[in-house]
Structure 1
């Protein structure tokens, strides 16, 4: 999985927190991808999906969850497709 993360390193996205941009968090075999926008998240997931496909692996869409945090009362619908399947 480490080699798949290198593909995200080259992408200019992530969440800026007091300076550096944070693209992902890792714990054991879990991964969290961080993005400042729904569009950025979708793009990062596409990059990750392509990276794992090159290595003959597949993202488990059933175990993939999305969370959107926003300021204020507005809400953004974030439909992300992974290999044609909608992630929750």
Structure 2
């Protein structure tokens, strides 16, 4: 499923790499979405889901995973949801 890049283009989120902000990586049938926080990721997932719904498609939540990378030893506890279904979190 492709996200309409215009949907994410104006959203100031993603990971900074030098002077470039990477918001997502698109593959043939997969995508990776980057966000600096769980809250930011939820916003981007909502935008992606809205884009998919406009095309009369649905995200397969059982094939969707979330992964959090943090520098501190404690881990942020937050769920990412799509249409009220919790996305599985990878450790």
- Aligned-partner SS, 2:5: helix
Match of 1:27 in 2: 27
Aligned-partner Cα distance in 1 for 2:27–2:53: 22
Q: 5+ unaligned residues in a row in structure 1: which ranges?
A: none
Q: Does 1:17 align with 2:17?
A: yes
RMSD after superposition: 1.3
Q: Tell me the TM-score normalized by structure 2.
A: 0.88
TM-score normalized by the length of structure 1: 0.91
Kindly indicate whether the alpha-carbon contact (under 8 Å) linking 1:5 and 1:48 is maintained by their aligned counterparts in 2. Answer: no
In structure 2, runs of 5+ residues without a counterpart are: none
| Maintained 8 Å contact 1:66/1:87 | yes
Q: Confirm or deny: 8 A CA contact 2:3 2:48 kept in the other structure.
A: no
Name whichever structure is richer in helix by fraction: 1
Does the 8 A contact of 2:46 with 2:82 survive in 1?
Answer: yes
2:47 matched to which residue of 1? 47
